[in-house]
Amino acid sequence: MNAAKKPLVAALCGGVGGAKLALGLQYATPEAELAVIVNTGDDFEHLGLTICPDLDTVMYTLAGVSDTQRGWGRAGESWAFMDALRALGGDDWFRLGDRDLATHVLRTEALRAGHTLSEITRDLATALAVRARIMPMSDDPVRTVITSDDGDLSFQRYFVKLAAAPRVRRIRFSDADAAAAPGGVLEVLESARLAAVVVCPSNPFLSIDPILGIAGIRERLVQTAAPVTAVSPIVGGAAVKGPTAKIMTELGVPVTNVAIAEHYGDLVDGLVIDRADAAERADIEALGIAVHVTDTLMHTDADKARLAADTLAFAARCRARRHMAAS
């Protein structure tokens, strides 16, 4: 197929949970072009290095080099650097594997040399032979700040150093107002080839909201002719991964798929929820959002590919429904 005519699928994605579906989408779209637009609000500077946890999780996952047991970082990782760092009195609360470190060192050097995060991410992903295009939501730094009972915390301090223990009062995205979407991201979302936008089952408040907060992205999602479907990160009143449920509770949001649907509102045409939550279907549909009920837990790569294919088929039905409504 002519590359210029390939259908295009865009995904919005945070870290581990989202990356699983992104990998499923990579399996499920052999004939399409896949663009994964990734949250960079969790990025931070540590030991003089610029670390982009979500970009790296997506990159390692799509490259097949992630450690699926540990849930983060690279497979077959070693920790000699950390051991030496600790012995030298260095800050060791954020674990950097020897292999992982190569990514951070190269990225930091390239950023200092004036390259954009988009360019660097493309080069790293190319070196790792990732088929999908991995795109940071912005080349400008945006930093997720957790206002907690312990005061304002950068996301990684909250999440890693303090193990997400402090009570969350508010989440904000520092410098988001000044951040622009990279040209490539806007081109994807404006493309006539765009067949579907999939919001991965990442934390809506922590991982997807920063993406939606970048100038131009939300508007293009509202305007696109392509269906926008989200996969809920909530199953049976709990989060599949990470502190999503705890944070929702602390923000006063019920830990339900209905609450996720209300949060995304008219941005999404459809929501994929787990069979365990099938009872929520009617309340979500009452919001004008289509619902697809399936197994959303992704234990194996086959699970990921199936959920991705299911979600894309659901997206095609959402598009058809939209066309019918418009005609």
Which residues in 128-167 contact a copy of itself (CB under 8 A)?
Answer: 128
Minimum separation from the CB atom of position 96 to a copy of itself (A): 9
Examine residue 98 and tell whether it contacts a copy of itself (CB under 8 A).
yes
* Interface stretch with a copy of itself, choices 124-132, 141-149, 167-175, 216-224 (CB under 8 A): 124-132
Examine residue 105 and tell whether it contacts a copy of itself (CB under 8 A).
yes
* Interface stretch with a copy of itself, choices 93-101, 163-171, 283-291, 294-302 (CB under 8 A): 93-101
Minimum separation from the CB atom of position 69 to a copy of itself (A): 18
* Interface stretch with a copy of itself, choices 74-82, 169-177, 218-226, 266-274 (CB under 8 A): 74-82
Closer residue to a copy of itself in complex, CB, 95/172: 95
Which residues in 27-66 contact a copy of itself (CB under 8 A)?
Answer: 47-49
Minimum separation from the CB atom of position 127 to a copy of itself (A): 5
Minimum separation from the CB atom of position 314 to a copy of itself (A): 37
Examine residue 84 and tell whether it contacts a copy of itself (CB under 8 A).
yes
How big is the site for a copy of itself, counted in residues (CB under 8 A)?
32
Minimum separation from the CB atom of position 124 to a copy of itself (A): 6
Examine residue 100 and tell whether it contacts a copy of itself (CB under 8 A).
yes
CA distance 320 to 327: 11
302: left (phi over 0), alpha (psi -120 to 50) or beta: alpha
CA distance 30 to 18: 19
3-state secondary structure the chain: CCHHHCCEEEEEECCHHHHHHHHHHHHHCCCCEEEEEECCCCCEEECCEEECHHHHHHHHHHHCCECCCCCCCECCCCCHHHHHHHHCCCCCCCCCCHHHHHHHHHHHHHHHCCCCHHHHHHHHHHHCCCCCEEEECCCCCCEEEEEECCEEEEHHHHHHHCCCCCCEEEEEEECCCCCECCHHHHHHHHCCCEEEEEECCCCHHHHHHHHHCCECHHHHHHHCCCCEEEECCEECCEECCCCHHHHHHHCCCCCCHHHHHHHHHHHCCEEEEEHHHHHHHHHHHCCCCEEEEECCCCCCHHHHHHHHHHHHHHHHHHHHHHHHHHC
Minimum separation from the CB atom of position 125 to a copy of itself (A): 10
Examine residue 238 and tell whether it contacts a copy of itself (CB under 8 A).
no
Please give the angle made by the CA atoms of 93, 95 and 100, to the nearest 5 degrees: 155
Examine residue 70 and tell whether it contacts a copy of itself (CB under 8 A).
no
* Interface stretch with a copy of itself, choices 10-18, 121-129, 255-263, 319-327 (CB under 8 A): 121-129
Examine residue 67 and tell whether it contacts a copy of itself (CB under 8 A).
no
Among 6, 64, 67, 81, binds a copy of itself (CB under 8 A): 81
Question: Residue with structure tokens 């999602």?
Answer: 221
Handedness of CA 305, 306, 311, 314 (dihedral sign): positive
Minimum separation from the CB atom of position 161 to a copy of itself (A): 17
Minimum separation from the CB atom of position 56 to a copy of itself (A): 12
Among 1, 4, 87, 326, binds a copy of itself (CB under 8 A): 87
The contact set with a copy of itself (CB under 8 A) reads 47-49, 74, 77-78, 80-85, 87-90, 97-103, 105-106, 108-109, 112, 123-124, 127-128
